[in-house]
Structure 1
Amino acid sequence: MSSPSVEATTTATRHAASVADAVKVYGSGDTAVRALDGVSIGFPAGRFTAIMGPSGSGKSTLMHCAAGLDTLTSGAAFIGDTALSTLDDRRLTLLRRDRIGFVFQAFNLVPTLTVAENITLPIDLAGGTGDRQWIDALVDVVGLRDRLHHRPAELSGGQQQRVAVARAFAGQPDVVFADEPTGNLDSRSGEEVLNLLGRAVRQMDRTVVMVTHDPVAAAHADEVVFLADGRLVDRMESPTADRVLDRMKAFDSKGAPS
């Protein structure tokens, strides 16, 4: 039997990442938790997609499985046309290194390295040289030209997260997954990071998939998809913070509009 695919319903759209009939169950027997319950969704290339839902809705699980950080119980996850389930551990590690970028709530910078060294760290660890012209342009996009020789302790939280964003994009990945990237930032710094992610998508033709609980953050995306109880329950194009907040309020505990 061939792996399930989302291609039939989205023949005109190229997806940077997608899942089809995704099921993820943690535990077994009476204690089993169905974190994803048959989710099929594609994340279009060159777009900024936000994933929202109540606590326990499965949004982080969806991101982790789509990014190959966790495995599905059943169904399939793809980066482009590559089915993650067909890869052994080594090839999956190489795919994550070469085709996926990550931005997390914690900045995860190496304190002994400069900003410039932190940005190119994944490329350096892989033994590559990277596209220096791309990295140079990226430094300007994230506004760190005058901070390249500073170390993380000399930067504000917002500046550190901008370094993390630059590092995620440095290898020109197919998709960058961002998990609550503004969670540790004040509102002004968070807004700067969200604007930065938006610029990377619209000015540099990148793809971003962001998990967030914040309607203001979600409003920076091109589209918001809503999960509840492990299921995809709605999606919204051209979101605003007020519309997203209203939609979140409309979901009852079962994930259906009340």
Structure 2
Amino acid sequence: MTTPASSPTAARVVDAVKVYGTGDTAVRALDGVSVGFPAGRFTAIMGPSGSGKSTLMHCAAGLDTLTSGSAHIGGTELGTLDDRRLTQLRRDRVGFVFQGFNLVPTLTVAENIRLPLDLAGRTGDPDWLDTLIDIVGLRDRLHHRPTELSGGQQQRVAVARAFAGRPDVVFADEPTGNLDSRSGEEVLGLLGRAVRQTARTVVMVTHDPVAAAHADEVVFLADGRLVDRMASPTADHILDRMKAFEKAQVTS
């Protein structure tokens, strides 16, 4: 259940194990997971509550460390980096979109989009930023502040910010969780357009089959293990697969 060796991966984990706690209270959130996320593709991670999907994303993105196994961004193994170099890698090669928009309220839309570049002391590529602004449809909002935007518009700013530094991979954690269905569809659509039009990579954690159906592929976790993959997913097929996993958990 790994990505074929011929397919380049933007991020991957190998034999990933994550244990929280010790002794009788230890929880094995990841149990020997090996999975690669193909470059230039949109992948969704799904699974029942407690399956380890958020833990997988956090460890793959370098936000958390594995108990054993390895995590890689491109050809870089995260476990070989000290804190300074890991922070630099996350800043320069990884983008993040969270359920909460995490915008700076005192900055304009344009300033929020540029924030990762400014923090890194980089000028960025004006043409790239211009393309992003068109993809997310915010050209007429660049001088507004977050409080002047709808929730969907704020999340669009967060998406543009995540891509601003041309990262190897953007990790999105329940990016539509705080949005109504229409705004959520708009954000998912623009994530897909960003992948297709900029050849970037998106890895999204979601519990929503409709959201996951926007991805090129869905990987499924259950009890901390990778149990299935689905190419060209549809919401109905995803829902059927999820029901099967939940039924298996009840009867096991």
2:128 matched to which residue of 1? 134
1:115-145 CA-to-partner distances (Å, cap 9, x unmatched) read 0000000100111101111001110110000
Distance (whole Å) between structure 1 residues aligned to residue 248 and residue 240 of structure 2: 17
Write the distance in 2 (CA, Å) between the matches of 1:146 and 1:257: 54
Change (3 A) 1:61 1:230: same
Give the corresponding residue for 1:203.
197
Alignment-derived partner of residue 78 in structure 1: 72
For 2:180, give the aligned amino acid. D
Cα 1:257–1:137 change in 2 (3 A) is: farther
Paired position in structure 1 for 2:15? 21
Gaps of 5+ in 2: none
Secondary structure (helix, strand or coil) at the match of 1:251 reads: helix
Per-residue CA shift, 1:204-231, capped at 9, x if unaligned?
1110000000000000000000000000
Q: Aligned pair count?
A: 251
Q: Distance in 2 between matches of 1:191 and 1:230?
A: 29
Tell me which of 181, 195, 203 is aligned to 1:187. Answer: 181
What's the TM-score, normalizing by structure 2? 0.97
Corresponding residue number in structure 2 for 1:120: 114
> Structure 1: how far apart are the matches of 2:17 and 2:135?
38
Where does residue 58 of structure 2 map in the other structure? 64
Contact in 2 for aligned 1:228/1:254 (Cα 8 Å): no
- Corresponding residue of 2:213: 219
In 2: Cα distance, 1:40 partner to 1:96 partner: 21
Per the normalisation by structure 1, the TM-score is 0.95
Instruction: Name the SS of the counterpart of 2:134 in structure 1.
Output: helix
User: Separation in 2 of the partners of 1:257 and 1:131?
Assistant: 54
Cα distance in 1 for partners of 2:5, 2:100 equals 37
Paired letter, 1:208: V
Quote the offset at 1:62 in angstroms: 0.0
1:3-54: CA deviation from partner (whole Å, max 9, x where unpaired) = xxx7xx7320100000000000000000000000000000000000000001
From the superposition, tell whether residues 253 and 19 of structure 1 become closer, same or farther in structure 2 (CA, over 3 Å).
Answer: farther
| Distance in 2 separating the partners of 1:213 and 1:16 | 23
Please tell me whether residue 235 in structure 1 is matched to residue 249 in structure 2. no
Structure 1 runs not aligned, ≥5 long: 1-5
**AA matched with 1:139:** I
Q: Work out the CA distance in 2 between the residues paired with 1:22 and 1:256.
A: 25
- Is the partner of 2:185 in helix, strand or coil? helix
- Report if the CA contact (8 A) 1:250-1:257 is conserved: no
Question: Would you say the 8 A contact 1:251–1:257 is kept in 2?
Answer: no
CA drift at 1:253:
6.0
> 2:207 aligns to what SS in structure 1?
coil
Q: Which one-letter code corresponds to 2:136 in the other structure?
A: V
Report the Cα distance in structure 1 between the residues aligned to 2:12 and 2:167, rounded to whole angstroms. Answer: 15
2:91 matched to 1:110? Answer: no
- Are the equivalent residues in 2 in contact too, given 1:227–1:255 (CA < 8 A)? no
Cα deviation for residue 255 of structure 1 reads 5.5
* Preserved CA contact (<8 Å) 2:48 2:246: no
State, as a whole percentage, how many aligned pairs show the same letter: 83
Residue identity matched to 2:78: L
Question: How far did 1:203 drift?
Answer: 1.4
- Return the match for 1:150 from 144, 152, 158: 144
